[in-house]
A = this chain, B = another copy of it.
Amino acid sequence: MTETNFIHRKIGRITWTAYQKHLTREPIIFLPVGALEQHGPHLPMGCDAIFSEEVSLRVAEALNGLVLPPLTYGYKSQARSGGGQLFPGTTSLDGQTLTSMVQDILREVARHGVKRVAVINGHVENQWFLTEGIDLALREAKSNGNQMQIVRCEYWNFTPQDVLESLFEGAFPGVDLEHAALIETSMMLALYPSFVDLDNLPVDAYGQFPNYDSYPQNGHGVPASGVLAPASQSSAEKGNLLINSTVNAMVSALQNEFLIS
């Protein structure tokens, strides 16, 4: 992997004059959001930002959009979705901090004259604090007479059901436990195979959780690896299929949402 992929889509990698030219055609601006969170003994802790940025870049490429620098820290990991806060390395924000990050960035792009934003979320726990940041930014924009349309997408919701069923051979149990498991491992193998430590793939296991959360977090039911579902059947091929189908679905959805012919 080199950073030359989609460099021209990265707002942090182009000049302000290039950005200014782009603005005249009212491009969709993407804000990828991730986390710094344990992803098992085999995946890097920055997974969620990598995936949300890579998906954003591909969708932006298709829609002639631009991608803001990803938010690489996210909300606190929960046992049932990410293994929880007890793992060293997981480095999370208070909810209000994440909300303020989103609000501030949206305020600024509104000032630039941006009209359409897609917040692409790669970390389950972020969703509601992103929602609040968007709401507060739009409230403020309304006072200032700035109009923007903003969508918030959890990228995994765009993966077609038939793709999931085929990858899991008809036994897809849902995304709830897919933390650092087959889906994410496959996607990383497709994107950055060197980031996957294949020598340390976890033994296949499932997180075992009740239907509620207990605090302070105690790690009950979280496999020692931090991986919540089997990863052993991962492959780059599956990863490419996941990425491509997800990107395609998101491209279609945003074309429709933003009325792009």
Residues of A at the B interface (CB closer than 8 Å) are 1-4, 7, 10-20, 23, 36, 38-46, 49, 68-70, 72-73, 75-76, 78, 85, 87-97, 99-101, 104-105, 108-109, 111-113, 125, 127-129, 131-132, 134-136, 138, 140, 142-144, 149-154, 157-158, 194-195, 197, 200, 210-216, 226, 253, 257
Q: List 11 A-B contacts (CB under 8 A).
A: A17-B41, A36-B69, A75-B128, A76-B131, A93-B105, A95-B99, A97-B97, A97-B104, A128-B129, A138-B216, A210-B253
Q: Is the CB of A131 within 8 A of B20?
A: no
Alpha-carbon distance A107/B147, docked complex (angstroms) = 20
* A36 / chain B contacts, CB cutoff of 8 Å: 11-12, 68-69
| A20-B88, A89-B20, A109-B91 known; A215 vs B13 contact (CB < 8 Å) | no
The oligomer's copy count stands at 6
Compute how far the CA of A213 lies from the CA of B96 in the bound complex, rounded to whole angstroms: 20
Asked if B2 and A44 sit within 8 Å, CB to CB, the answer is no
Set of chain B residues within 8 Å of A134, measured between Cβ atoms: 215
When distances are taken between beta carbons in the complex, the residues of chain B under 8 Å from A19 are 45, 88-89
A205→B90 CA distance, assembly (Å)? 43
Q: Which 7 residue pairs across A and B have the least CB separation, nearest first? A: A12-B46, A16-B38, A128-B128, A69-B72, A16-B89, A157-B211, A95-B132
Give the docked Cα–Cα distance between A85 and B85 (Å): 33
Select the residue from A17, A111, A149, A211 with max chain B CB neighbours within 10 A: A17
Q: A12-B49, A15-B39, A257-B214 are in contact. Are A105 and B91 (CB under 8 A)?
A: yes
Apart from A15-B197, A151-B212, 4 more pairs, CB < 8 Å: A20-B88, A94-B104, A142-B216, A212-B253
Q: Are B89 and A104 in contact (CB-based, < 8 A)?
A: no
Chain B residues closer than 8 Å to A96, beta-carbon distance: 95-96, 99-100, 132
Q: Give the residues in chain B near A257, CB-CB below 8 Å.
A: 210, 212, 214
Are B73 and A105 neighbours in the complex by a CB distance under 8 Å?
Answer: yes
Give the Cβ gap from A149 to chain B, nearest Cβ, in Å.
Answer: 7
Query: Which chain B positions have C-beta within 8 A of A105?
Result: 73, 91, 93
